[in-house]
């Protein structure tokens, strides 16, 4: 019987940072739960095609935009379950066991606990806030990873074809059908370090509130890139 899990990673000029993410996936291959790796590229100018070939991944070329790319990857996935993972997120050493346990006991979706690859008070405060938001408001972000069955993914309509807040959009459709997994997802702190932890956090919160109030995601994406 084929392994149950397809892993989908969207990329855009991510070749220089994707190696730790790919390395952590070996645990799932060794555990016999990973069926395939799908890299969905949005038009990179780097070595992602060579990297995909080297690791035996299926490479799909898509229009840029994380929602668009994730949707394209899901459409191509063959597994009965899908893990959506950002190119700068690394799962912990025990993630495969946690996922296998979830597959055997649950039908709802799952996500990881967020940490950053840089320590310090601000990193702890932001990650703690994100984990509390996920637990009590049911809004995990994409950098926490998303494990979801093909059946549930199709039932809720999948990722919307939008350039930003696609993770919030699908989380809202999954309200009451998600649970935290016993695994840690460590993501890059670069965006916070570049802009500043407080300023980046305030900007993210502002974008979230505007999205929940109905602002066009195209407009939010332009504001995010500034």
Q: What is the pLDDT of residues 167-196, one digit of tens each?
A: 999 999 999 999 999 999 999 999 999 999
Distances in whole angstroms, Cα of residue 86 to Cα of each of 51, 83, 101, 219? 16, 10, 22, 22
Mean pLDDT throughout 204-211?
Answer: 93
Question: Global pTM?
Answer: 0.95
The Cα–Cα gap between 108 and 179 comes to 7
109 inside domain: yes
pLDDT number for residue 84? 98
At 51 the pLDDT is 97
The enclosing domain of 172 has a CATH number of 3.90.550.10
Q: Over the stretch 124-147, which tens digit does the pLDDT of each residue have?
A: 999 999 999 999 999 999 999 999
pLDDT at residue 148 in the model: 98
Residue pair 153/166 in contact by the 8 Å Cβ criterion:
no
| pLDDT band with cut points at 50, 70 and 90 for residue 222 | confident
What's the number of domains the chain is made of? 1
Question: Is 115 a domain residue?
Answer: yes
The per-residue pLDDT for 85 is: 98
Q: What pLDDT does residue 183 have?
A: 97
Domain that holds residue 100: 5-195
Looking at residue 189, its pLDDT comes to: 95
Is 215 within a domain? no
Characterise 145 by phi-psi region: left (phi > 0), alpha (psi -120 to 50), beta (else). Answer: left
Question: From its phi and psi, is residue 125 left (phi > 0), alpha (psi between -120 and 50) or beta?
Answer: alpha
The token pair at 22 is 């790919």
């Amino acid at each position: 019987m084929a392994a149950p899990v397809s892993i989908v990673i969207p990329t855009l000029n991510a070749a220089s940072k994707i190696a730790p993410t790919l390395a952590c996936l070996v645990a799932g291959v060794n555990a016999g739960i990973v069926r395939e790796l799908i890299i969905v590229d949005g038009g990179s100018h780097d070595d992602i095609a060579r990297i995909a070939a080297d690791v035996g991944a299926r490479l799909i070329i898509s229009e840029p935009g994380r929602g668009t790319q994730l949707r394209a990857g899901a459409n191509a996935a063959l597994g009965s379950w899908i893990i959506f993972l950002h190119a700068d997120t690394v799962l912990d050493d025990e993630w495969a066991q946690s996922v296998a346990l979830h597959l055997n006991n649950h039908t709802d979706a799952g996500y990881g606990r967020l940490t950053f690859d840089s320590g310090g008070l601000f990193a702890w405060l932001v990650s703690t806030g994100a984990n509390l938001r996920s637990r009590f408001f049911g809004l995990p972000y994409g950098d926490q990873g998303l494990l979801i069955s093909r059946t549930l993914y199709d039932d809720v309509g999948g990722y919307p074809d939008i350039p930003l807040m696609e993770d919030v959009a699908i989380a809202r459709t999954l309200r009451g059908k998600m649970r935290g997994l016993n695994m840690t997802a460590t993501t890059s702190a670069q965006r916070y370090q570049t802009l500043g932890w407080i300023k980046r956090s305030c900007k993210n919160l502002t974008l979230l509130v505007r999205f929940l109030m109905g602002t066009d995601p195209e407009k939010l994406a332009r504001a995010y890139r500034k």
